[in-house]
Amino acid sequence: MTPVHIVGGFLGTGKTTVLMAELARREGRERCAVLVNDFGEASIDATLLGGQVQVTNIPGGCVCCTAPEGLIPAIKVILDELKPDRIFVEPSGLGRPRDIVDMLARGELAGRIMLGPTVVLVDPSRTPPDPMLYAEQLDGADVLIANRCDLADVGQLAAFDHLAATLWPAPILAARVSRGRLPEGAWTWPAGAGPRAEEAHEHGHGHHAKAPSTQGYVARSWVFPPDAVFAWDALCALVAGTEGIERFKGVFRTDIGWYRLDVAGGVVHPASTGYRRDSRADVIVREGVDIDSFARGLVASRIADRDPDTLDRTVVSLVDTSGLDVPLSRGSLMALPGQVPDVGVVIPGKRGSGVHLRELFQIVGGGDRYVLAAGDGYTSAPAEVAGIGDGVIVHTLDGGALSAEQGGPFRVYQPAGSNCANVKNVVRIRLLASDHG
């Protein structure tokens, strides 16, 4: 499989400089390709890189937001025509690495590419213009690099060191560099991390290790492989219902997406997260708490490996904010109002017949956002119900049900600009209340 590396960070942090240095280091040893997402039309980055390597540009907007459907076709062309040994993706400085990771992790390319660590650059000498986006970029960093350190003073470098030391989960590597020269280890996963993590977990079970106890307290940690999926409701019930938890930090791939669960002062704080490396948790409890029971509950909240026979099931589950599960067959979908006989009329270039998503949501009501879950375990980013527009769930193609090869049993096309504009093999649609991250 071809390694793919994402190099993210704000405008001016030196992403192109890093790529030029890394491509020069690999020259003569590997055939590399670069996919650049320039925000403007000038394609400046592609021009700079073009003298060294084959460059593909997706202009006109951030690939995470306004141009998401250009990413996968562009990489397919690179793989088919250029056959590189390695691909680097440089998103816009306004991009969120986690969105690109999610798009690349979809089944369409899963057998052809292998995601390397996500590298995120920061400039310690400058204050980020958008603190919220900055936090999201840091959240998705497997490798955190302070670039342009020759321009930073002692206090600014110390602030970066403090930032890197306080991130949880910690990056696999945090380093200071100048002129874009990254340590070679920035591009490879260490043993037990990332896509290869499953090799370190026999039978896919999480493992735990007892940490030294401080007086009156016991600490324990767990790590699960990246393909483990947890039931969100079960996790929340376990954490909220266990008395004696002094501190809990967890990041989990759940059936409603990637979420972080923190407990501080007896209050549970859920939030969406850009972390994608694995699922893990650290807990500190008072002595006397049955931590082994808690451990069993944590493992039990993991959704069992999916039965391949369920991937072709003929119903989609619509789940409201209370957990009510309404199974809808193809016939049920075809009987709803708001039918779209030709999806191409509302979403150009698409085929099939379906029904507007807004008609489904009227069945159960409530919820500010929704997520789509596919049969392979993929979960879309939460989308606003209010912005659903002409979103359609396709139930018929060429006069019959959709085959697995066509994205069946059901396929969802969402409004233009969504980073999950095309989700295949949809088996669950879940509404979320406003307190979900």
In sequence order, what DSSP letters do the residues of 124-170 get, joined into one string?
A: TTS--S-HHHHHHHHHT-SEEEE--GGGS-HHHHHHHHHHHHH-SSP
Q: Please check whether residue 407 lies inside any domain of the structure.
A: yes
CATH number for the domain that contains residue 246? 3.30.1220.10
Q: CATH number, domain at 399?
A: 3.90.420.10
**Structural domain of 38:** 2-188
- In-domain check, residue 195: no
Q: Domain boundary at 188, 212, 233, which?
A: 188
pLDDT for position 269: 86
In a domain, 194, yes or no: no
User: pTM above 0.75?
Assistant: no
Q: Of 278, 300, 322, which one is at a domain's C-terminal end?
A: 300
Residue after which a domain boundary falls, among 168, 188, 208: 188
**Do residues 208 and 148 both lie within one domain?**
no
Residue 242 CA neighbour count, 13 Å, CB half: 27
382: three-class secondary structure by DSSP: coil
Neighbours of 40 (CB within 10 A): 10
The answer to the question of residue 193 being in a domain is no
Whole-angstrom Cα distance, residue 9 to residue 122?
Answer: 6
Do residues 247 and 376 both lie within one domain?
A: no
Asked if 365 and 278 sit in the same domain, the reply is: no
Distance (Å, rounded) from C-alpha 9 to C-alpha 128?
10
pLDDT at position 177: 93
User: Do residue 11 and residue 116 come from a single domain?
Assistant: yes
Q: What is the pLDDT of residue 412?
A: 93
437 lies in some domain: no
Residues 146, 18 share a domain: yes
The residue ranges of the chain whose pLDDT is under 50 are: 39-45, 48, 59-68, 198-213, 305-313
Q: Which residues contact 240 (CB under 8 A, 6 or more apart)?
A: 268
- Residue 63 located in a structural domain: yes
Quick check: is 121 in a domain?
yes
Q: Are residues 175 and 30 in the same domain?
A: yes
- 284 and 159 in a common domain: no
Which pLDDT does position 66 carry in this prediction? 42
Cβ contacts of residue 246 below 8 Å, gap of 6+?
217, 284, 285, 286
Query: Quick one: 313 and 296 in the same domain?
Result: no
| Cβ proximity of 410 and 316 under 8 Å | yes
Which pLDDT belongs to residue 222? 93
Asked if 86 and 2 touch (Cβ cutoff 8 Å), the reply is yes
Does 213 share its domain with 134? Answer: no
Instruction: Give the whole-angstrom CA distance, residue 39 versus residue 318.
Output: 37
Judgement on whether residues 56 and 178 belong to the same structural domain of the protein: yes
Q: Which residues contact 308 (CB under 8 A, 6 or more apart)?
A: none
What one-character-per-residue DSSP string does 297-361 give?
HHHHTBPPPPPGGGGG-SEEEEE-TT--EEEEEHHHHHHSSSEES-HHHHSTT--SEEEEHHHHH
- Same domain, residue pair 339 and 407: yes
Residue pair 223/250 in contact by the 8 Å Cβ criterion: no
CATH of the domain at 170: 3.40.50.300
Considering the domain boundaries, does residue 105 fall inside one?
yes
Q: Is 434 left (phi over 0), alpha (psi -120 to 50) or beta?
A: alpha
* Pair (276, 334) in one structural domain: no
Number of domains composing the chain:
3
